[in-house]
Amino acid sequence: MVLILGRRLNREDSGVRDSPAVKRKVFEVDPKNLSGHDDAYDFCSGGLHGEGILQAFNEFRDNRLFTDVVICVEGRQFHCHRAVLSACSSYFRAMFCNDHRESREMLVEINGILAEAMETFLQYVYTGRAKITTHNVQYLFETSSLFQIFPLRDACAKFLEEQLDPCNCLGIRRFADTHSLKQLASRCRTFTLQNFMEVAQHEEFLDLRKEELEEYIASDELTIGKEETVFEAAMRWVYHCTTDRKPMLKDLLQHVRLPLLHPNYFVQTVEGDQLIQVDPECYQLLHEARRYHVLGNEMMSPRTRPRRSTGFSEVIVVVGGCERVGGFNLPYTECYDPVTGEWKSLAKLPEFTKSEYAVCALRNDILVSGGRINSRDVWMYNSQLNLWIRVASLNKGRWRHKMGVLLGKVYAVGGYDGQCRLSSMECYDSFSNRWTEVAPMKEAVSSPATASCVGKLFVIGGGPDDYNCSDKVSGHHRSSSQYLVICSYIKMPKHSRQTERTHGGLRLRVYTEPAN
């Protein structure tokens, strides 16, 4: 039978009649399958063709057919095809295609890898598939990196990332750093920070280098329930090898936020630790924590900032106030978190009907004193309990006064008692819950401003009567109870002396009256 392929001719055009003795069979061709020519058809079998060839080559390898090189690893021989190895790996392409000794020899020995890893590697080269396990992943990664098979190397890295656990994340992080796997190293670091409490209980943690441990315990991203966890982890690491690690104690404790430890824990556990007691370099850190327990936010350092995971954050608290229309006093106490941008309601202010009271923050609590109604009452907001508690009353009832905090004590300054303005001041000690009279100001004022700085409490401005405002600034020094009157910026004497001093990172400019 003869197959004639071509266009179908019109009988009238051809002038040829069909003969009963000769029959022609014509294949119909779909116009959609024509590509550029009326009589051509592009055919593609897709990936099946390549897979078929690889399968055939793998069978050749198993049966040692057409193999032209033998790779020897740990004394074990693997019969392979140079063409297949060169097609998959630039390492072998450089070995076989250049004028190297291996390009002419039948037996090529490769050192530094395991025979098991080589077998899995060749399985991938000839089939495109490899079985990655926890047992072979490290060696298979190193082998694929050596032979520059990057898809297999990346698959090993992905497998390691999925196997992260508190017992192995530190070892995988070190492996990732060794092989410059930035994504895997970053994932290990994040996992360790998020699971630090569990990670610190495993043996890998005790093998950390000092720099590695410092990186973790210094991070604000460290996820912990309380700072005591960090201290215990650091001390466990030191005690694991006391002789070598004892000199590193101070450097580690600099990253532990000792001021945020519970006072009882600090006294009993931290100060009672034998290594800390005999290390004079730790005294400054201990002193800082003690001062913070007394002074609160007056004493700031990098170690007084809570970690994000603790749930503590610095907020702005709004107490009381009145409605815009009608002027009715409001009982609400609310706080604003600048980080999240959210407002949160706190416990309502007792006796909110009063007005013109004073408010200040003492450590992590809030005090409200005086006011037009019940002018001697003082309330303290306990932030841990979210509760207002009545504390010792003022000795002198007052409103339109101000409160300031100096070295852990609260000072109620000036104000009005309903008949006259006050020059008196009172000092509150939260530990004894008592108000004590201190030296009065030289001028009675109401509604002044107060600020503490360089160990002094400054009283600024205020009203000495109903018609004038004071331009004076009074400074109260707690230890001597003496006041310093300095000229305001408004009425500067022409020949006054100007001095500058630096304290706490702030540059202060103090103007004093010229000596007579």
Domains parsed from the chain with CATH numbers? 41-163 (3.30.710.10), 208-312 (1.25.40.420), 313-342 (no CATH), 350-512 (2.120.10.80)
Does residue 510 surpass a pLDDT of 50?
no
Q: What is the mean pLDDT of residues 164-171?
A: 95
Instruction: Provide Rg for the chain, Cα atoms.
Output: 41
For the entire predicted model, the pTM comes to: 0.66
Q: 3-class DSSP state for residue 131?
A: coil
Does residue 507 surpass a pLDDT of 50?
no
Residue with tokens 């309903």: 418
Q: What is the mean pLDDT of residues 495-508?
A: 35
pLDDT at 302: 87
Which region among 75-79, 219-223, 491-495 has the lowest average model confidence (pLDDT)?
491-495
Pairing of β 69-73 and β 107-109: parallel
> CA–CA separation, 375 vs 396, rounded Å?
8
Q: What is the side-by-side strand order in the sheet with 358-362?
A: 358-362, 365-369, 378-382, 387-391
User: Cβ distance 334 to 366 under 8 Å?
Assistant: no
Residue 23 or 154, more confident = 154
Mean pLDDT of the chain: 82
> CA–CA separation, 142 vs 129, rounded Å?
17
Does residue 109 surpass a pLDDT of 60?
yes
Binned at pLDDT 50, 70 and 90, residue 499 comes out as very low
Beta bridge partners of 506: 503
> CA–CA separation, 455 vs 478, rounded Å?
7
Binned at pLDDT 50, 70 and 90, residue 104 comes out as confident
> CA–CA separation, 433 vs 244, rounded Å?
48
Binned at pLDDT 50, 70 and 90, residue 300 comes out as confident
403-426 pLDDT tens trace: 998 888 899 999 988 889 999 999
Considering Cα of 307, then 308, then 314, then 317, what sign does the dihedral take?
negative
DSSP classification of residue 507: E
- Dihedrals φ, ψ of 108, to 5°? -120, 120
pLDDT at 470: 64
73-91 pLDDT tens trace: 999 999 999 999 999 998 9
> CA–CA separation, 504 vs 197, rounded Å?
35
pLDDT at 210: 96
Q: What is the mean pLDDT of residues 356-376?
A: 89
User: Cβ distance 483 to 474 under 8 Å?
Assistant: yes
Binned at pLDDT 50, 70 and 90, residue 40 comes out as confident
Amino acid at 31: P
Residue 388 or 509, more confident = 388
Binned at pLDDT 50, 70 and 90, residue 515 comes out as very low
Does residue 28 surpass a pLDDT of 80?
no
pLDDT at 30: 57
433-486 pLDDT tens trace: 999 999 888 888 888 888 888 788 888 888 777 666 666 666 655 443 333 333
pLDDT at 13: 52
Q: What is the side-by-side strand order in the sheet with 402-406?
A: 402-406, 409-413, 425-429, 434-438
Binned at pLDDT 50, 70 and 90, residue 380 comes out as very high
The DSSP result for 382-447, as a single string, is ETTTTEEEEEPPPSS--BS-EEEEETTEEEEE--B-SSSB---EEEEETTTTEEEEEPPPSS--BS
Q: What is the mean pLDDT of residues 185-190?
A: 96
pLDDT at 477: 53
Does residue 359 surpass a pLDDT of 50?
yes
